[in-house]
Structure 1
Amino acid sequence: MSEILLYPLLLSIPLAVLIGPVGSILVWRRSSFLADVVSHMGILAFAISELTQVPILVVSVCVSTLIAVMLEWAPSFIPKDAWLAGVSSLGISIGLLLLSSNGSGHSFDHVFWGDMFALTQNDIIVFAIATGFLGMHLIVFWKSLVLIMFHEELAVLDGVPVRFVKFVNNVIAGIVIALSLKVMGVLLTGALFVLPSIGLRFLNLTPERHIIGAMVFVLASFVFGVIVSVQTDAIAAPWVIFALTVLNFAVIFLKKGIDKGAEK
């Protein structure tokens, strides 16, 4: 296998395992805006990293954790999506101001679009460790998460620490999104988490099967994007999103065709 393909294709497995459940849970909780907010704040994280020489991964994780805290303890009189939209816009503005004032002269294309072909062995290890932590989180909190997502009042009556579980889940989601920024960039990372669940919602799957389907979608799209990128010498991230979109439309039209056939 070509060396340039090795690390991106290896990463596709833990990436799919991470994004499948995290993205599905965000969509079920109607918190998909969190993916966009964290990814857009990656501009601020990159600017801070450039100025302080602190590794971008460390800064991104700190910023995403801060957003998770703000999401859970935001003022109750302001809708959370409006609150986060304001925070996101402020973060982008400050990040761009810091980058422009820094005057480093570097190209920031990898910040906006990611760079799958700059991955290293350390990146694979980090994603593998993150996959392990996510697995433990789901094992411990899965039943509580399902109850919260589909019937929060019942979860409260059942003694589930709703606020704590939601906070932990937001922190983990933020960290996973922050990790994905190096791969997909700040512009398209949010779409990578939300798109896999759109078509799958038409299939009326159980939560577990929905997550598995999302993993398959991400894995297939990522492999497609990497291979096409190598063949065409184009940026890989847009091809990944293109493949995900095609898969969604295929599932939707196939499901509608089957339903119409059953009605006849």
Structure 2
Amino acid sequence: MNIPAFGLGTYRLKGQTVIDSVRNGLDVGYRVIDTAQIYGNEAEVGQAIADSGVARDELFLTTKIWVDNLSQDKLIPSLRESLGKLRTDRVDLTLIHWPSPNDAVPVDEFMRALLQAKREGLTRAIGISNFNIDLTQRAIDAVGAAEIATNQVELHPYLQNRKLAQFSQANGIHLTSYMTLAYGKVLADPAIVEIARKHDATPAQVALAWAMQLGYAVIPSSTKRENLASNLLATSLRLDNDDLARIATLDRGERLTDPDGLAPAWD
């Protein structure tokens, strides 16, 4: 399955805030929505979709299995619960949100359970999130690289994750970049700002276009309708080789998401 290049993230958005964000996003043209069990907003996302009038078949919907639900006896029941909240009979993509802390649930066990969910029609595709090279290889060993639609990881101009990107490309595994704007840090970067001026674009559009031109999917979030609409224009922005080379120099290994007890040993 080809992962859509541009979607709407819902991390940290709750209650009416996420309902408004999804409603506005769908209204301005988004058709890809990314949520997760741990976000605590699947029901609100489902409500916003139902109220939007946009047909389910027009949407690409992603959710993620939380670490408490990785065991074989919990994964599929938890996904069914997510489907109920989302008001749908299947999602398009289901990811393992984080690898099991301390290998409490073996990679082989949860990947096979996830593959079974696909076979049962609960999800059209499966994948992983926050997996390093070693864990990705173990996921490949469990279900085969062809079954892993994407690895969703923190990736932005300050953390370009080149080792993982090279490994993933060599194995035919697509990457989805989350936090592409580095919590907004890159928006004030002089190089990004200058490239944006050159193209009569916004710094956010530049960072998003950069990731997409490298072949990654992006899922930025926003609570403001005008920013949602503006970010979407990144899909039509083309950076030149000089721009890409300049952004390549911004990598400084700056990781912003590294939760104790969850994060693997990063590459």
Structure label with greater radius of gyration: 1
- Give the number of the structure whose residues are more often helix, by fraction: 1
TM-score tier by shorter-chain length is: under 0.3
- TM-score by structure 1 length? 0.24
- Give the number of the structure whose residues are more often strand, by fraction: 2
Structure showing greater relative contact order (alpha-carbon pairs closer than 8 Å, 6 or more residues apart): 1
- TM-score by structure 2 length? 0.24
